[in-house]
Structure 1
């Protein structure tokens, strides 16, 4: 089969450090076009990858014969641009959070089904080796009954990662809609659902804007989550971890405790109930820090799902369920009540 013809819409940091590099490394893909409203940025990217440059995604979709696109845009554009691409017959890999509302997410899913195309959301935490091993261990009953968990994702903020620094769309509520919870918290909501193999049913949260200036999006959040079977735990998302990134998860079970990505040497640690400890190095998690730039495996999975006509691991329905957790956290914080999903 000929290589997939792919375009990237949005040439910011996530495209630069993830999508473009991973598409380029995949032998089954030809990057044919890039699009960004900033002409200098898109032209530089196009020169680097020797592809066509567009400043209007609609013109690109109309002119190019594309098999798939990556949507790497501010949150408020995820749904309309993804739907436009789906309606022109493209498979879509959309960055998280998939949308800014349940209604938008459902519209994306409807467009996917209408055109018979793949929609994948870029929740890369599911592909981390330690997380996959933990899911398998939990599913096999090796940890016994699961009682609780705690998971966190925090760093110094998008000004250290975004291509626009302090002027990034991440800090503009009309473009981002949601701050650290949409940037980081939704990753961990998706991860907990994936690890435990069940849905979150209730959320209580404090979602605050207390670390960054000149923005009204959230930058610190702590949530309490309860699953359908009664497992309880905490989720923290922050742009105020100023010295070192935290991307750690712990699972507390009947037969032991799992420590995932919270040790500098071992990515997977089991503290057994009998006192023994198992340490395994499965490779580091992808990170915004220099020593964490490992492949996410998201692009390879997306490409394989298209070529083999299989449903992506993180399809639209999965993206919606993780988005619902974050929206419930916002509602809980605003109403000062426990929100049921």
Structure 2
């Protein structure tokens, strides 16, 4: 395929940004041919800015049925990602969807099954996987430089959001509108990177979510989660939108040292002798392995991460290039956030894989009691995971 015809579904912030860089030919081999939005105001914007060569539609189904695209980029509200993707696969289209993969894993699993059955390329806009600093960490872990992983700690509290942010949209910070708070809106990238960089998912989790702790919202805005891995390692994930100043510090510790990512730099505290070997051979009363502080050089990104992921997706469609962020892997980070909610709601440990039916049941209860803001339209999920007005 010489050229991939792209359709954008959803012209909010992400959709309009993507349309702009596609029109500027910043993604080789891609051409924007269609776009849609249910909001007349966004269609008016599109008519003014996207030009005559881009066909406009007022619904996803209308675009999918028009036979004018080879692939779609989905940038709609979270709940809508899986059902639209499933319909796109049924039409024989390739799909790139925004994060998160969805709101609950039961729905996302159905999307993954549809993708596999279609044989089409399925990508996820995990643009932070394109950042060299996280790629380098994954490379060092896979090369065995840290030895056996013992601990992962991520403090990501620099997601500060004032009340005015939540008041800016009727759908924001509601179970019916977003399906969660900081975990589903701000943290999907970190939750993905947390498991991707070490290539491990937990075996069980105990989490403590606080709902509306700092803001007048109904979803979580402060979370602390503790995990245990199959190899005996443990981990901690701490996040909030209510602290200032915030911190973004990720530590991965193994029996050969520790890597810390903070403030855009990577530091490797490297042991000259693995800790188990030192412990086995040392005979003194006090002591510890010699440790070198190594500043790991990391190249700066050459392009915006969104463009990198989009280019990778188009290359996969055109020539089979391996995906940096396969869509099927979106369920992993979502499993982590679903487990954090479920552990809090049940006040207990959650085992992996999580009980998807139980999570769906509890989420439905939250949606049914969701506090919708003035002017909002209440929406409920039907058994197929799509919305009824």
The 8 Å contact of residues 22 and 31 in structure 2, kept in 1 or not, is answered as no
Larger radius of gyration, structure 1 or 2? 2
**Equivalent of residue 133 in structure 1, options 129, 132, 136:** 136
Q: CA RMSD in A?
A: 2.7
Partner of 1:145: 148
Partner of 2:94: 91
1:309 to partner: Cα distance: 2.6
1:323 to partner: Cα distance: 1.6
2:275 is aligned with 1:294: no
TM-score, normalised relative to structure 2: 0.77
The 8 Å contact of residues 97 and 327 in structure 2, kept in 1 or not, is answered as no
Partner of 1:234: 236
Unaligned runs of 5+ in 2: 272-289, 353-389
Partner of 1:289: none
Partner of 2:85: 82
Distance 1:284 1:40, change over 3 A: farther
Q: Give the match's secondary structure for 1:248.
A: strand
Distance 1:156 1:82, change over 3 A: same
Partner of 2:284: none
More moved, 123-132 vs 327-336: 123-132
| CA distance, structure 2, for counterparts of residue 22 and residue 135 of structure 1 | 30
2:66 is aligned with 1:63: yes
> When the two structures are aligned, how many residues end up with a matched partner?
329
The 8 Å contact of residues 151 and 235 in structure 1, kept in 2 or not, is answered as yes
Q: Give the match's secondary structure for 2:186.
A: helix
| CA distance, structure 1, for counterparts of residue 265 and residue 19 of structure 2 | 24
| CA distance, structure 2, for counterparts of residue 203 and residue 232 of structure 1 | 10
| CA distance, structure 2, for counterparts of residue 69 and residue 276 of structure 1 | 48
More moved, 310-319 vs 93-102: 310-319
| CA distance, structure 1, for counterparts of residue 41 and residue 214 of structure 2 | 29
* CA shift digits 1:30-78 (9 cap, x unpaired): 0112212222223324533322322211111112421111111111111
Partner of 1:14: 14
Unaligned runs of 5+ in 1: 287-292
Partner of 2:45: 44
**Equivalent of residue 279 in structure 1, options 295, 302, 311:** 295
1:310 to partner: Cα distance: 4.9
| CA distance, structure 2, for counterparts of residue 238 and residue 19 of structure 1 | 31
Partner of 2:161: 157
| CA distance, structure 1, for counterparts of residue 149 and residue 330 of structure 2 | 24
Partner of 2:177: 175
Q: Give the match's secondary structure for 2:168.
A: helix
TM-score, normalised relative to structure 1: 0.87
Partner of 2:377: none
Distance 1:149 1:26, change over 3 A: same
1:184 to partner: Cα distance: 3.1
The 8 Å contact of residues 170 and 176 in structure 1, kept in 2 or not, is answered as yes
The 8 Å contact of residues 158 and 170 in structure 1, kept in 2 or not, is answered as no
In the TM superposition, structure 1's runs of 4+ consecutive aligned residues that sit over 6 Å from their partners are none
* CA shift digits 1:58-100 (9 cap, x unpaired): 1111124211111111111111111111111111111222122
Distance 1:61 1:15, change over 3 A: same
| CA distance, structure 2, for counterparts of residue 123 and residue 174 of structure 1 | 24
| CA distance, structure 2, for counterparts of residue 36 and residue 284 of structure 1 | 35
